[in-house]
Amino acid sequence: MGSSSKSADAQPLGDLAETLGRLLKNTVFRLSLVGALLFGGSLLVAQLIVYDRIVSAEIRRIDDGLRSDLIELQSLFEKGGDRVFQEAKRIGALPIDTPETSPLAQPYFDQGARETVERVVTLRDLSDDTYSMFVFKGRKSGKLVTEEIAALGMDAPSLAGFVSRGLIRERAIATVSDIETDRTEERRVQVLGLVIYEDEVRVGILFVGRDIETIMRTGERMRSAMTTSSFIALFLGILSSIFVARRFARRVDILNKLATDVQAGHLDRRAPRTYSEDEMDRLAEHLNGMLDHIDRLMQAMRYAGDSVAHDLRTPLTRLRTRLETAAVEAGDSPEGDVLYAAAGDADELLSTFDSVLRIARLEAGERRELLKPLDPKPILDDLAELYEPACEDAGLSFTYDIESGLTIMADRGLLSQAVSNLVENAIKYAGGGGGSRIHLSAQKGQRGRVRIFVVDDGPGIPVFDRERVRERFVRLDKSRTLPGSGLGLALVDAIADLHQAELILDDGLGSDAVLAGHDDHDGRPGLKVELVFPRAKSVKTDDSPSDGRKGGSA
């Protein structure tokens, strides 16, 4: 129960991973995704530029104003502290803070320094939200300059002759009190400050700040809007990429299906058109034109082949018949032997001619429509029973091992022709006597494929010649003394191609590749010729025997 639920949960994840994999392999999706990313990035860059022009520019403008205010206050300090407090009286003064309650002063005094700080004076210009704050040590070097300051019981020092250096730029939090509503609010303040020194000793800090809470909130809203709009643009871009990719993939899949059908021999299939005159519609038009042209060429070739078959086979058949008749009339004479040899040559010529025509027709896709699911065991059993006596007469050991329940898409006659060619080649080239062996086998391979192979311990084929021997009329030097036309493997290759099977040539019994324990092959590697058929739907055959079978040696 638990394992089934786990597999059920894993199935959607597997489907999702497969879908994502197909999307990532789709060229149109990748290009569209790159476009969406570029668009989203461009939108974000444009929004950042707007943000810089609005918020950052306003902050810079405030910095410039604060710098001017700081220069003015610094000038007042240099002329005397009384001028500063007169200015404070003009703009209005807020209560005096302690160093512990002043948020602007705290970062600039450690615990030891705070013990020497006696007062923090905070001034605020209510008209333009400008804050000024003066932090003084407990040095009494001035006089009372205003009644308001005197009423608070504080001494205001004069800073005439003091040195100021070290510009401080901060963004701090200031607590603002509303006198009318008796409410406090924390607001962000852009601050510029100067450290005041006397004889290289820091005696105070002059701060000038301006309320930027409204600007910062505007900037935060802009950043939030920019982030949201960028994600929305990216999301819509990905959705449009998926839509375009799937729509394009459907049209490409139609063309791929067409190519597969044509490869399977259905030359009458054509690509559907939308008549929208876009790229895919023009491609479909050109493909249909190409297929029409190929179809005309194939029909012309069939007509030419039929004409050649009719015009040449008939004279060759008559020639062979006359030669055989003349040989019979000549009897047991030298002339009769020559006539019999000529009739045999005519027979071989007819056989070669038939093989060439058959290869041409197979390569043209003829008989592909006759392929159907079948069990190869009955066919291979019949061939094994047919060739076992022939191998025995040739002094060869013939064995076979054919599994039951195999299914391939094949034409019965062509399959028999291909395996017959392979067995006859093995008989011809393995050599008689000396315990030479031939083995025929059919077994299930990986991923549902079916392997049918003939293997021997003969001289084999060198690796560098294994592709060349698939061509027509190719015969290796060591086999030119034997009868044949060099069309056997070419015909098998054409049959394999028609069945969409793979023809593989490898070392045989001599290299112990298939059967172990035999080392008496005199250095001959042998040859293994294998037909690997693709997976096919299972089919129930009436003539399939129920029992497995292994042949013995002759």
Best-predicted range by mean pLDDT (263-272, 273-282, 344-353):
273-282
Question: Of 479, 464, 460, 492, which Cα lies nearest the Cα of 355?
Answer: 492
Query: pLDDT at position 244, please?
Result: 82
pLDDT per residue over 56-87, tens digit each?
888 888 888 878 777 776 666 566 554 554 55
pLDDT in the model for residue 19: 67
Q: Of 480 and 407, which is predicted with more confidence?
A: 407
Work out the average pLDDT over 160-178: 51
Tokens found for residue 176 = 């603002």
Average pLDDT over residues 435-464: 90
Q: Which of 183-192, 209-218, 268-277, 293-302 has the highest mean pLDDT?
A: 268-277
Sign of CA dihedral 173, 174, 178, 183: positive
pLDDT at 210 over 70: yes
Cβ atoms of residues 354 and 250 within 8 Å: no
Which pLDDT does position 104 carry in this prediction? 46
**Mean pLDDT value across residues 472-485:** 69
Residue 169: predicted pLDDT = 62
Mean pLDDT (the chain) is 72
Q: Rounded distance, CA 110 to CA 108, Å?
A: 7
**What secondary structure letter does DSSP report for 513?**
S
Encoded tokens for 96: 């005096």
* pLDDT tens per residue, range 102-114: 444 444 444 444 4
First to last CA, the chain: 56
Tell me the mean pLDDT in the region 338-363: 80
The pairing of strands 502-506 and 549-550 is unpaired
Q: Is 544 strand, coil or helix?
A: coil
What whole-number distance in Å separates Cα of residue 368 and Cα of residue 411?
8
- What SS3 class is residue 19? helix
Read off the tokens for 455. Answer: 């293997």
544/535 Cα distance (integer angstroms): 19
Among 38-52, 80-94, 346-360, 496-510, top mean pLDDT goes to 496-510
Whether the CA torsion 318, 319, 320, 325 is positive or negative: it is positive
Mean pLDDT of 7-32: 67
Mean local confidence (pLDDT), 356-373: 76
The structure's pTM equals 0.50
Of 10-24, 169-183, 314-328, 417-431, the one with minimum mean pLDDT is 169-183
Q: How high is the pLDDT of residue 324? A: 87
Which of 351, 344, 295 lies closest to 323, judged by CA? 344
Q: What is the pLDDT of residue 504?
A: 93
Say if residue 137's pLDDT is above 90.
no
Fold (topology level) of 372-550: Heat Shock Protein 90 (3.30.565)
Please tell me the predicted confidence (pLDDT) of residue 457: 87
Architecture of domain 89-211: 3-Layer(aba) Sandwich (3.40)
Question: Of 536, 526, 341, nearest to 448 (Cα)?
Answer: 536
Instruction: Count CA atoms closer than 13 A to 29's CA, side-chain side.
Output: 17
CB atoms within 10 A of CB 202: 15
Q: What are phi and psi of 118, to 5 degrees?
A: -95, -35
Strands 527-533 and 450-456: antiparallel
CA dihedral 420, 424, 426, 432 (to 10 degrees): 140
Average pLDDT over residues 475-487: 69
Summarize the confidence of residues 237-247 as an average pLDDT: 82
pLDDT of residue 82: 47
Q: What is the largest CA-CA distance in the chain?
A: 158
Tell me the percentage of the chain whose pLDDT exceeds 70: 62
C-alpha gyration radius of the chain: 49
Mean pLDDT over 376-387 rounds to: 94
Of the pLDDT bands very low, low, confident and very high (cuts 50, 70, 90), residue 401 is: very high
Q: In what order do the strands lie in the sheet with 117-125?
A: 93-97, 117-125, 130-137, 201-211, 183-198, 163-178
Q: What is the mean pLDDT of residues 16-29?
A: 71
One CATH from 1.10.12, 1.10.150, 3.30.43, 1.10.287 for 279-363: 1.10.287
| Cα four-point dihedral sign 219, 223, 224, 228 | positive
Going by pLDDT thresholds of 50, 70 and 90, the confidence category of residue 348 is confident
% of the chain exceeding 90 in pLDDT: 14
pLDDT band at residue 431 under the 50/70/90 scheme? low
Q: How many helices (H) and strands (E) does the chain have?
A: 12, 14
Strand residues in 297-418 grouped as ranges (E): 372-374, 397-402, 408-410
Q: Does the pLDDT at position 492 exceed 60?
A: yes
Average pLDDT for residues 363-373, to the nearest whole number?
A: 77
The answer to whether the CB of 94 falls within 8 A of the CB of 86 is no
pLDDT recorded at residue 197? 61
Domain ranges of the chain: 20-79+213-263, 89-211, 279-363, 372-550
3-state DSSP call for residue 136? strand
pLDDT tens profile 147-159: 333 333 433 333 3
